Structure 1
Amino acid sequence: MQDQILQALRQNDTAQAVQLAQAWVHDEPGQAQAHRWLALALQQQGQPEAAQAPLQQALLLAPDDAQLHLQQAGLLLALHQFEGADEALLRTTDLNPNAFEAYLMQAHLAIGRNDIDTAARQATLAAKLQPEHPEVLALQGMVALYRDDADRALQLLSEAARQMPNDPRVLYALGSAYQAKDMLAFAEQAFRRVLDINPKMTSLHGLVVQLALRQGNIEAAHQQLQQALQVPGLDTPALQRLGAEIALQADQPMQALEQLRPMLKANPGDRRVVELLLACWQRLGREEEARADLDEVLAEHPQLPHLWLARLAPEGFGSPGAIAVADRWIEAMPEFVPALEARLRLHEAAGEADAVEALAARIVALEPGRISGETRLVGALL
């Protein structure tokens, strides 16, 4: 019966596999392997919840079967019950210290929760059993990457990727290792390969666009962005901002400006949007538009410091406009030290020593030891 079920699963006929396993359980209810294969068939059919009952029955019938505990760990992982999976894997290795797959799974779980020391220990245990296995090399490479040993990570992950060229986990780690070494073209290639294998890793689209931009490859960045925007649910503010950044780098500031202005109103807390907008306004010579747009947003969000800093940008340093903006900033945020420092520098530029000393004292009162205030007070005393 086991061979028939296995054959059905190999042919992707999960319905037949479940039917055969159910018949086996009916005929031999005391046979642990019958329940085990029913659980496996149900899980393969996309019913992991339904697979739990027969697998529990198998474990009741054969509590010391390490392979059953390993299967339970895999099922719990599919159900995102990570703590239970950890316990099942520990039980597996207790029963069978040579359970290679269990060490691999424990290492991956440890990496997932950022427990790198545990991951390293589990990878070492797996390496004692199969030191040259590509999964072991991949895990050792991931541990090295987390420990900022990019050279060793690159060496190990390159070999693992050579042996497992279609494993997205290995390729993703390899891309990260290339990125850590500032080998941007190789990193981009690795992440593109991950997307080819697993298009659902949508977060990588933005990273690939950024890597292309960092290399100055505007056309490739634009093509990748257009491809990403066709994916349902990916038309996000982050990708829209990347589109504006591409337009700006392609010397199309007007196109970038048209994309960014609605984004400023929709999300005034996005500092990168404000930075890009300032670049557009500066290139186009639209200082009045910058003042008007920023004043409009500040009227509703006066507690965002980056907006006040941006509002100062169109004003000449020391100009009446800059003084007026700095005064408004202090009025909106009277105990915010950077606002006081901005006004202090303007007083200093105008040679208003008494006002500088007064603001310096106010800064130190709010934040004792602040260099900007302390140095001015010492200077005044001298």
Structure 2
Amino acid sequence: MTTQAKNVDEYIAELRSQIETNPQCASHHYNLGVAYLHKRMWQEAEKAFREAVDNSPRMAEAYVQLGGICLQRGDIDGCLNMNKIAKDCRPQFAVPFANLGFCYLQKGDVDRAIVYLKKAVNRDPDYVQALSTLGSAYIMDKQFDEAEAQLRKALDLAPSFGPAWNNLCLLELERGDKAKAREHADKARENGFAVADEIMKELGAEQA
């Protein structure tokens, strides 16, 4: 939609005015939710996304956003449930599959995480975050060659993606190559990723 708003607050006011005129427009509610997320107004965002799915029950993107809000407050199971609904609404949408994989990884269910992350990558081979998370899952599963393959794919697509460099660092630590691990840690930090203090200590370095 076109907008005359000069900032997020004006955009929110504009959307709320449009919703008053057309309260059943799921897109307006969804866009309002996204605007609230920019302001970190979690409760308002959740209400807007719920209004979106009330008016458009198969709006997968809104369920994904609701899952993200669950994750923000530490509710992994809530995030899982929302992304399950999202992938059922749009079976070819890669994002909920990647989110399910991430959640299962957080819960320690590595096998199930790999299944969902592979499904995400099959749907979108250029999905950098999914490739990096799949690499992390393979590290946890001790499939080191597979892990490196996925992480290299991620970095071929996005050379400045810090989390993938960090995962390569973790991979080389698992392999016992601290020199390579340090190189990858430095690349992660150069690209804005805060490598964990315990990893830097293991590498014999300190955070800047």
Q: Do they superpose with TM above 0.5?
A: yes
The answer to whether the Cα contact below 8 Å between 1:185 and 1:215 also exists between their aligned partners in 2 is no
**SS state at 2:176 partner:** coil
Match among 17, 24, 39 for residue 57 of structure 1: 17
The answer to whether the Cα contact below 8 Å between 2:67 and 2:83 also exists between their aligned partners in 1 is yes
Instruction: Indicate the structure (1 or 2) with the bigger Cα radius of gyration.
Output: 1
Which runs of 5 or more structure 1 residues have no equivalent in the other structure? 1-35, 246-262, 264-382
| Matches of 1:233 and 1:50, distance apart in 2 | 33
Deviates more, 1:150-159 or 1:140-149: 140-149
Residue 372 of structure 1: aligned partner: none
In the TM superposition, residue 136 of structure 1 has moved relative to its aligned partner by 3.5
Match among 152, 158, 162 for residue 197 of structure 1: 158
Matches within 5 A, 1:121-270: 121-191=81-151, 194=154, 197=158, 199=160, 201=162, 205-228=165-188, 230=190, 241-244=201-204
| Matches of 1:37 and 1:167, distance apart in 2 | 28
Confirm or deny that 1:105 pairs with 2:65: yes
The answer to whether the Cα contact below 8 Å between 2:132 and 2:167 also exists between their aligned partners in 1 is no
Give aligned pairs, total: 205
- CA gap of 1:204–1:126, structure 2 versus 1, over 3 A, is closer
Confirm or deny that 1:92 pairs with 2:52: yes
Percent of aligned positions that are identical: 22
In the TM superposition, residue 215 of structure 1 has moved relative to its aligned partner by 0.6
| Matches of 2:98 and 2:195, distance apart in 1 | 33
The answer to whether the Cα contact below 8 Å between 1:212 and 1:218 also exists between their aligned partners in 2 is yes
Match among 21, 35, 38 for residue 3 of structure 2: 38
RMSD after superposition: 3.3
The answer to whether the Cα contact below 8 Å between 1:66 and 1:92 also exists between their aligned partners in 2 is yes
Taking structure 2 as the reference length, the TM-score comes to 0.77
Residue 305 of structure 1: aligned partner: none
Write the letter of the residue equivalent to 2:29.
H
Taking structure 1 as the reference length, the TM-score comes to 0.45
In the TM superposition, residue 53 of structure 1 has moved relative to its aligned partner by 2.4
**SS state at 1:67 partner:** helix
Write the letter of the residue equivalent to 2:183.
Q
Confirm or deny that 1:48 pairs with 2:13: no
Write the letter of the residue equivalent to 2:64.
L
- CA gap of 1:235–1:124, structure 2 versus 1, over 3 A, is closer
- CA gap of 1:130–1:115, structure 2 versus 1, over 3 A, is same
CA offsets, 1:123-170, max 9 Å, x none?
332233223432333233334333433222212211211322333332
In the TM superposition, residue 49 of structure 1 has moved relative to its aligned partner by 3.6
The answer to whether the Cα contact below 8 Å between 1:206 and 1:239 also exists between their aligned partners in 2 is no
**SS state at 1:38 partner:** coil
- CA gap of 1:191–1:85, structure 2 versus 1, over 3 A, is farther
| Matches of 1:235 and 1:226, distance apart in 2 | 9
Which runs of 5 or more structure 2 residues have no equivalent in the other structure? none
| Matches of 1:128 and 1:226, distance apart in 2 | 40
- CA gap of 1:233–1:51, structure 2 versus 1, over 3 A, is same
| Matches of 1:168 and 1:50, distance apart in 2 | 33
In the TM superposition, residue 77 of structure 1 has moved relative to its aligned partner by 1.7
The answer to whether the Cα contact below 8 Å between 2:92 and 2:123 also exists between their aligned partners in 1 is no
Residue 78 of structure 1: aligned partner: 38
In the TM superposition, residue 97 of structure 1 has moved relative to its aligned partner by 1.6
Write the letter of the residue equivalent to 2:117.
L
- CA gap of 1:234–1:98, structure 2 versus 1, over 3 A, is closer
